[in-house]
Structure 1
Amino acid sequence: MKIKELPIEFEFNGQKEYIYPSLIIWNSELTLVDTGYPDFLPLIKKEILKNGYEMKDVKNIIITHYDDDHIGSLYDFKETYPWINIIASEIESKYISGEQESERLVQAKEMLVNMPEEEKEFGEWFVGELEKLKHVSIDEKVKDGDTILDNQCEIVATPGHTSGHISLYFPNLKSVITGDAGVNENNELVVANPHFCLDISNAKESLNKIKNLQAEHYYCYHGGKYCL
């Protein structure tokens, strides 16, 4: 088994930005972790092909949590490659499938009410982007301590950023895929977007939880790979 990060470059508000979805390779089967913003399928596909793999071998997509930069292209992936098995936590599954309004959308609407006038245009845009996300049914629901991918990957509940956020621990690789439980900022593993964490206290505990795994490699969706 090995893990490859897929650096995705894009432009936002006139600035160059990056996200780093992870690709897990196991017995010639591929598992993608998170799917970028809406319309990012071509960008992610390009990176997968550039690494010498084929889309027909993508068997799973694991979603760490419901946020537009993580699930934005999930619907497109499932529509284009219907055989892909979608995996998410039991909590986040309710939001991804549309069974329940997402915590992030509830938060965005609440923040909009008291937002200064000069920020309201962005707030309204963000609410609109969340409302446009298409729902996708989850094929496999997981919880803390579950193992997947032939027991090579352990699900680690890392609530805080969202309540059902999960990270992925690979004991044999001494590696963690963090989602937004931790980001690489100036070569330091820190809490992602504290301002948007639904529970900052839980977020800090979750960061300590993955740090205490003492992995050698932390694959961060924002900031790229962090190595001890």
Structure 2
Amino acid sequence: MATRTLAPGIYRIETVIDDKLHGYHVLEGADGPIIVDPGVIDAPTTVYRPFLEDRGWSLADVSLAVITHADADHHGGNHELREHAPSVTFAAHDADADLMERTDRIMRERYGMFAGEHGITYDDDTSEWLEGMMGPGERIDLRLRGGERLSLADRELQVLHTPGHTRGHLALYDPGHDIVIGGDAVFGRGVCTVDGDYIQPPPYYRAPAYENTIDLLLTLDPDALSLTHYEVFEGTGVEDFLDESLAFASELDALIPMLVDECGTITLREAVDAVVDRRGSYGLDVDLAYPLSGHFAVHVDRGILERTTADGVVAWRRT
């Protein structure tokens, strides 16, 4: 693990899990240390505890955990954290909170969201991997909306609603030091291993909201952007990464009508395969279902496409 200070009272702890970078954050809160994302199932003890103890704290001192969104590697450690810090307050956006409270619900409604209409599911190994990152569900004590203020020892951070990857994704903004802690708010052209190989395409599924999140971050124009699965972006690197993220979304959106014209009627599975044929593999290619479904919905709203069925699953064709 490696640690760095992003600003006074804002620390980043970096570790590698399954060949993927995970950057977690600790804040010096007004009432004790604040954790941003408890992480995977054992991260509270394997990642956070050593850092806290080096600074004279313990897990029991953690007063608040702000969870950026409902994903196994971000909230999976909730149960272990609460076991060591019984008085901790869990805070998350209201739109994601229910998914965090029950493991069976997030597996069904988030990770299984394409099963019923599209016949697309994760294989057994991937499902077991996702479940293995999560402990038992825990109550979310404080449900946020975005716009709240988070008190540090000497200043306040702004809570931003940054949807796209999930409906309730949150980020934190320190206007005094011009830093955004963004979780999984944006993804560039994909997520890579620490060796630079693609491991996952950008898994946003609410396309307009995702683009609005990118526009928000471009407007804030922070000096530093600290996301979970990337090195910290600084200076002009922030704008470059955000532009790259927006470009991917725009290119995928423009590709949708072409794929429909080639096939006449196309299912989500066929669209995933077509994108891989054109662009190459992203590793976990099934996750292309997330952004593709979002962009198909946009074209339906525009009146360009309409939903139909093919072989018993949802498909799209020209209106």
Q: Same fold (TM over 0.5)?
A: yes
Greater displacement, 214-223 / 39-48: 39-48
Match in the other structure for 1:35: 38
Match in the other structure for 2:137: 135
Q: CA RMSD in A?
A: 3.0
Within a 5 Å distance, the mapping from 1:152-171 to structure 2 comes to 152-171=156-175
Give the alignment's TM-score, normalised by structure 2.
0.59
Q: Secondary structure at the match of 1:160?
A: coil
Within a 5 Å distance, the mapping from 1:70-85 to structure 2 comes to 70-85=74-89
Greater fraction helix:
2
Q: Flag the structure with more relative contact order, 1 or 2, with Cα contacts below 8 A and sequence separation at least 6.
A: 1
Match in the other structure for 1:200: 207
Give the whole-Å Cα distance in 2 for the aligned partners of 1:174 and 1:106.
35
Structure 1 unaligned runs (5+)?
187-192
1:114 matched to 2:119:
yes
1:52 matched to 2:59:
no
Q: How many residues align?
A: 215
Q: Secondary structure at the match of 2:164?
A: coil
1:211 matched to 2:218:
yes
Per-residue deviation, residues 142-192 of structure 1 (Å, max 9, x unmatched): 212111216601111111100011111111121111011035779xxxxxx
- Residue 206 of structure 1 aligns to which amino acid in structure 2? T
Give the superposition deviation at 1:210.
1.8
8 Å CA contact 1:40–1:73 kept in 2: the answer is: yes
Give the whole-Å Cα distance in 2 for the aligned partners of 1:205 and 1:211.
10
Give the superposition deviation at 1:109.
2.0
8 Å CA contact 2:41–2:77 kept in 1: the answer is: yes
Q: Secondary structure at the match of 2:111?
A: helix
Match in the other structure for 2:13: 6
Kindly tell me: are residues 174 and 106 of structure 1, through their superposed partners in 2, closer, same or farther at Cα, counting changes over 3 Å?
Answer: same
Give the whole-Å Cα distance in 2 for the aligned partners of 1:166 and 1:88.
8
Q: 1:224 aligns with which of 224, 231, 240?
A: 231
Kindly tell me: are residues 28 and 123 of structure 1, through their superposed partners in 2, closer, same or farther at Cα, counting changes over 3 Å?
Answer: closer
Q: Secondary structure at the match of 1:21?
A: strand
Give the superposition deviation at 1:24.
1.0
Give the whole-Å Cα distance in 2 for the aligned partners of 1:157 and 1:2.
22
- Residue 45 of structure 2 aligns to which amino acid in structure 1? P
Give the whole-Å Cα distance in 1 for the aligned partners of 2:187 and 2:53.
25
Give the whole-Å Cα distance in 2 for the aligned partners of 1:22 and 1:73.
14
Give the whole-Å Cα distance in 2 for the aligned partners of 1:97 and 1:32.
18
Identical columns (%): 18
- Residue 61 of structure 1 aligns to which amino acid in structure 2? A
- Residue 147 of structure 1 aligns to which amino acid in structure 2? R
8 Å CA contact 1:4–1:22 kept in 2: the answer is: yes
Give the superposition deviation at 1:123.
4.4
Give the superposition deviation at 1:127.
6.3
Kindly tell me: are residues 224 and 83 of structure 1, through their superposed partners in 2, closer, same or farther at Cα, counting changes over 3 Å?
Answer: farther
Give the superposition deviation at 1:34.
0.4
Per-residue deviation, residues 114-153 of structure 1 (Å, max 9, x unmatched): 349xx723344356448x6421112222212111216601
Per-residue deviation, residues 28-59 of structure 1 (Å, max 9, x unmatched): 72111001211222222344236524124321
- Residue 26 of structure 2 aligns to which amino acid in structure 1? L
Kindly tell me: are residues 91 and 212 of structure 1, through their superposed partners in 2, closer, same or farther at Cα, counting changes over 3 Å?
Answer: same
- Residue 43 of structure 1 aligns to which amino acid in structure 2? T
Structure 2 unaligned runs (5+)?
1-7, 193-199, 236-319
Q: Secondary structure at the match of 2:137?
A: coil
Give the whole-Å Cα distance in 1 for the aligned partners of 2:147 and 2:135.
29
Give the superposition deviation at 1:108.
2.5
Give the whole-Å Cα distance in 1 for the aligned partners of 2:206 and 2:178.
28
Give the superposition deviation at 1:71.
0.5
